[in-house]
A and B are shown apart, each in its own frame.
Chain A
Amino acid sequence: MTKISMKVNGEAVSGEVEGRTLLVQFLRDHLGLTGTHVGCDTGQCGACVVHVDGESVKACNMLAAAADGAEVMTIEGMAAPDGTLSVIQAAFQEHHGLQCGFCTPGMVMSAADLLNRNANPSEAEVRAYLEGNICRCTGYHNIVKAILAAAATLRGEAVAAE
């Protein structure tokens, strides 16, 4: 067993893990942060995307021990402390960018990473960036719309309603 510690959503946490424990297992099973989901076992679906030191990472593809000392942000850390949704989260609700909700945490975390890198992505750039996040419910139309709308809001532009 290895003792690890890291900051998760701004809070210092630590735990004892096996060498084989994945970051996603540490988040879900040790910390009870069940918003990060596991949808596959080959690193394809993106339901487990979190941010590690500001970069998006598939938490099923990283050992917990490898995140020792890191700053991790999960979906639980995205809304304001009073529960107000972030711009991206609010845009997903506004544009019906989620149905069953299972892929949603990973989609939101990927979208946040994209908009950190590119404040004004084209539709094609959004679609290309989401290659690593699978949604089976929405057909992506409203996810893409939501991300484009969130980008505009974050740039300070007025966004037309539906």
Chain B
Amino acid sequence: MPKDSGIGASIKRREDVRFLTGAGNYTDDINVAGQTYAYFLRSTVAHGKIVSVDTAAASKMPGVLRIFTGADFEAVGGLPCGWQITSRNGEVMKEPRHPILASGKVRHVGDPIAAVVAKSLAEARDAAEAIGVEIEELPAVVDMRAAISGAAPAVHDEAPDNLCYDWGFVEENREAVDAAIKSAHHVTTLELTNNRLVANPMEPRVAIGDFNRASGDSTLYTTSQNPHVIRLLMGAFVLGIPEHKLRVIAPDVGGGFGTKIFHYAEEAFCTFAAKALNKPVKWTADRSEAFITDAHGRDHVTKIELALDKDGKFLAIRTATLANMGAYLSTFAPSVPTWLHGTLMAGTYTTPLIYCNVKAVFTNTVPVDAYRGAGRPEATFQLERVIDKAAREMGIDPVEIRRRNFIPADAFPYQTPVAVAYDTGDYHATMDKLVEIADFAGFEARRAESAKRGKLRGLGLSSYIEACGIAPSNLVGQLGARAGLYESATVRVNAAGGIVVMTGSHSHGQGHETTFPQVIAEMFGCPEANVEIVHGDTGRGPMGMGTYGSRSIAVGGAAMVRAAEKIIAKAKRIASHLMEAAVEDVEFANGVFSVAGTDKKVDFGSVALAAYVPHNYPLESIEPGLEETAFYDPSNFTYPAGAYAAEVEVDPETGAVTLLAFSAADDFGNVINPMIVTGQVHGGIAQGIGQALLESAVYDANGQLLTGSYMDYAMPRADDLPMYAVDHSCQTPCTHNPLGVKGCGEAGAIGSPPALVNAVLDALNAGGIGVEHIDMPLSPSRVWAAIQSAK
């Protein structure tokens, strides 16, 4: 009988009612009395010197309050970068200034040159058209190899070779890796591109700045995954507003997928302009604007070499990656190709020697930063593709070659050669489950059936691991992070027993308002309906670090558990007084405090009431009230893992790929709400399929984004996708957080792209068409071209 309450129950989401009735409160739904509207005039060229910006005529247009240019922001900070990487030669990365409005030069299409604030959006737009801008266009650099060739224009003067950093990991292993590859029985080499993507949450970004001259307080409403981090970055590093005079509110947020982590210029602009004009200033992105201002994702080019012995055992891995940073360093950009990527190159395998080199490159494109998975999909893609190629070259079944190299279930905790130590896992178990749910046994019969219809059927798989629950602060500090990555929670039990949890985690689709109360209900023995979750407002809870890296339940949930434990400990002391018993004898279960071996009991609500109406209360030893705060800093990452399979049919005449089935067997440790976890996997898989088959952000050689709208950037529609078979019954609980949870938000996007590509290559090769690799997205034209060149 499935549970209907507490941890493990598939409770329906309480947030759905407002979203289903149009009562959600997204940032663009907020209108502040007297608000004005900002419109940004953006660069239409990828690289150029700003010769002049003439705002005289535009300033006189109807409704215009003021036009701002780069000169207005020279006295404030640039957008800060939250991570510093050190190059192999010991130098720190190049970190050019990222101004709020462009100053001197524009460096990508979309770079803001001026901003009009007017009484209406239409007036702001009209005035922007009347601004006279003279730009001396400079040659642009888009391709990473060209950028670092020595013959390319410099995006920033301080990085004349366009190199941000040149990182080696693990540097001490380099010679041993080289030697192992040189002497190996077999070496498989693969060059591949991890295609550039646009996250595209359905809600475009919005910012509203508001300033109260009487109190001197600034408020920013913004579409953010982490309002506290925005307050810290914008307040301390950009505008110089002390945190107690700045409130950041991220209400209902319509999807994030990483791209709403970062601090953006428009947030700082609206906050700054609201104070300068003493009026609220609202900005809402068009989708076209989102494409040229939201940080993009992925965009790596990698050469990977895998050395194997004669039995297919992995001996060493060497990779060389170029990672696109775009024109400026976004908030977390430097960490993505390094610490979120190199540390995952062991995958689920026992490979003893690993070396990664990553060169981060400036180009005249939109900044690139974390997108669902962030570094881990890139690592998984390389590994799972090169392993499949090695299996084909050596004549070993793709399941078998993985099994020969899996870290065995009895080897945990397992120290990898790339710094991280996995606490738990059972990769054979998830592979067994995958083989079952994807019906590997029946595949050859299905392949034969397709062949009768002239179609090539393929089955591809991948085994992924990710590092989630980001992250131990002292560890990431050593790795270059400039922030801590703990999480906070305050649990407030009110006098009549109602409970409010203020969490630093932020929900933008993950359903925290439903799942977090399940944990409290389990701990306090109360109905979920007694628990309210407050998030997304720096004015209503303690400093928190927000939601990304599948960290909400593993870190934010853990903080909530710690705070709730403090509540229970204090409540026991109060109960011991009320029951006139020793505190050691007080037990708490199902919402009732009792004394062992007696019939004395007092319920949770009575204890809460006593805490706030302390008439019969040990005031000399216990403070009144029942509210506790905890900050939880994890001692390790969590390591969700699993095995995925895609089954496809390729039309050899057209190159069209049809995805017939997709199966996922995941190990997320303990699961709070299986329905929601399944939904998270579905969504991740769809984004991974999108990357593999459809999506690509394409720039031309001049730095124009050719895929700048939903008419050009192909995201999966309902009729591109099948139903998915998803299983998370394999559970090896995390050993170092109190809930035993690992996180599930990114897995789907990490494991799915290589499974798709492996499936298409299986279809082609089994059909007698020898193709070693096709870069994503596997569009009909690319697959068709690969087929033709193999003939």
Interface residues of A (CB under 8 A from B): 18, 20, 28, 33-42, 44-45, 47, 74-76, 78-79, 83, 85, 89, 92-94, 96, 98-105, 108, 123-124, 126-128, 130-131, 133-144, 162
Contact = CB atoms under 8 A, between A and B. Distances in A.
Contacts, number: 185
Nearest to A77: B22
Given A39-B287, A40-B710, A100-B255, 14 more contacts: A35-B21, A42-B710, A98-B20, A99-B510, A101-B252, A135-B718, A136-B255, A137-B255, A137-B679, A137-B683, A138-B682, A139-B685, A139-B721, A140-B717
Given A75-B21, A108-B20, A142-B679, A37 B711 contact: no
Contact of A134 (B122, B687, B710, B748): B710
A141 B682 contact: yes
Interface stretch (B96-104, B196-204, B586-594): B196-204
A44 B29 contact: no
Interface in B200-255: 200-204, 252-255
B28 interface: yes
A136 B371 CA distance: 13
Q: Which 7 residue pairs across A and B have the least CB separation, nearest first?
A: A35-B22, A101-B19, A102-B254, A139-B686, A100-B509, A44-B710, A99-B509
A138 B286 CA distance: 23
30 contacts: A34-B29, A35-B21, A37-B202, A39-B204, A39-B254, A39-B287, A41-B287, A42-B709, A45-B287, A89-B20, A92-B20, A96-B12, A96-B675, A96-B676, A99-B509, A101-B20, A101-B24, A101-B509, A102-B203, A103-B202, A108-B20, A127-B719, A131-B718, A131-B719, A134-B710, A137-B509, A138-B679, A139-B686, A140-B717, A142-B682
A80 to B, nearest CB: 10
Contacts of B28: 34, 37-38
B253 to A, nearest CB: 7
Nearest to A101: B19
Contacts of A140: 686, 716-718, 721
Q: How large is the interface on B (under 10, 10 to 19, 20 to 34, 35 or more residues)?
A: 35 or more
Interface in B575-598: none
A124 B718 CA distance: 9
A20 B17 contact: no
Nearest to B24: A101
A102 B255 contact: yes
Given A39-B203, A136-B202, A100 B287 contact: no
A126 B718 contact: yes
Given A96-B13, A141-B724, A162-B675, A105 B22 contact: yes
B264 interface: no
A94 B24 CA distance: 18
B724 A74 contact: no
B511 interface: yes
Interface in B9-36: 10, 12-13, 15-24, 26, 28-29
Q: Could you say which of A18, A41, A103 has the most chain B C-beta atoms within 10 Å of its C-beta?
A: A41
A85 B17 contact: yes
B723 A41 contact: no
A33 B203 contact: no
B21 A89 contact: yes
B511 to A, nearest CB: 7
Nearest to B253: A100
B607 interface: no
A98 B511 CA distance: 10
Contacts of B21: 35, 75-76, 78-79, 83, 85, 89
B683 A98 contact: no
A45 B254 CA distance: 13
Contact of B202 (A47, A79, A108): A47
A153 to B, nearest CB: 15
Q: Could you say which of A39, A75, A76, A101 has the most chain B C-beta atoms within 10 Å of its C-beta?
A: A101
B200 to A, nearest CB: 6
B255 A139 contact: no
A36 B26 CA distance: 11
A72 B184 CA distance: 71
B508 interface: yes
A123 B721 CA distance: 11
Contacts of A99: 255, 509-511, 679-680, 683
B287 A136 contact: no
A56 B509 CA distance: 26
B203 A37 contact: yes
A127 B253 contact: no
A36 B10 CA distance: 29
A83 B253 CA distance: 23
Contacts of A42: 287-288, 709-711
A33 B24 CA distance: 11
A40 B287 CA distance: 5
B26 A37 contact: yes
